[in-house]
């Protein structure tokens, strides 16, 4: 398990871990078919105080989540085992990839919401 997280990622104390996990479970509870809904996980690192988290599943693989802090599903990405996690963190740190990248469809939907105030367009 990683003990020295590359910046800006940091390990978190038990109090914050429980707080973030509780929020993530609450967000997941509003989406019955979300892929994380029935998975057991622990939050192991945060990029900032409240939004970007690395989670570790019971099987030992990792994922990334971006909490929404509202009744909406969190963005999530499966990362894989520790070697893939290290590549993910390195790429994000070098600007080659970001852990909060949107797919083209997600970006188009966001743009549509912004321009037409949530009128159906996609």
98 within a domain of the structure (yes/no): yes
Nearest to 62 by CA among 47, 43, 75, 46: 43
58 within a domain of the structure (yes/no): yes
Residues 52-77: pLDDT tens digits? 999 999 999 999 999 999 988 899 99
For residue 44, the number of C-alpha atoms closer than 13 Å in the C-beta half-sphere is 20
Residues 20-35: pLDDT tens digits? 999 999 999 998 889 9
5 within a domain of the structure (yes/no): no
The per-residue pLDDT for 43 is 96
Q: What is the extent of the structural domain holding 82?
A: 10-116
Per the model's pLDDT, the better-predicted residue between 93 and 38 turns out to be 38
Number of domains present in the structure of the chain: 1
3 within a domain of the structure (yes/no): no
Phi-psi region of 60 (alpha: psi -120 to 50; beta: other; left: phi over 0): left
Burial class (CB in 10 A: 0-12, 13-18, 19+), 61: middle
Determine the Cα–Cα distance for residues 111 and 108; give it in Å rounded to an integer. 5
Residue length, the chain? 122
24 within a domain of the structure (yes/no): yes
51 within a domain of the structure (yes/no): yes
pTM: 0.74
1 within a domain of the structure (yes/no): no
């Amino acid at each position: 398990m990683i003990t020295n997280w590359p910046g800006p990622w940091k390990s978190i104390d038990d109090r914050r871990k429980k707080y973030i996990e509780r929020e993530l479970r609450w967000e997941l509870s509003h989406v019955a078919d979300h892929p994380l809904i029935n998975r057991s996980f622990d939050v192991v690192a945060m990029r900032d105080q409240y939004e970007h988290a690395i989670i570790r599943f019971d099987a030992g693989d990792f994922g990334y989540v971006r909490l929404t802090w509202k009744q909406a599903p969190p963005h999530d990405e499966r990362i894989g085992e520790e070697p893939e996690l290290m590549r993910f963190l390195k790429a994000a740190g070098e600007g080659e990839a970001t852990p909060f990248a949107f797919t083209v469809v997600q970006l188009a939907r966001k743009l549509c919401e912004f321009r037409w105030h949530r009128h159906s367009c996609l």
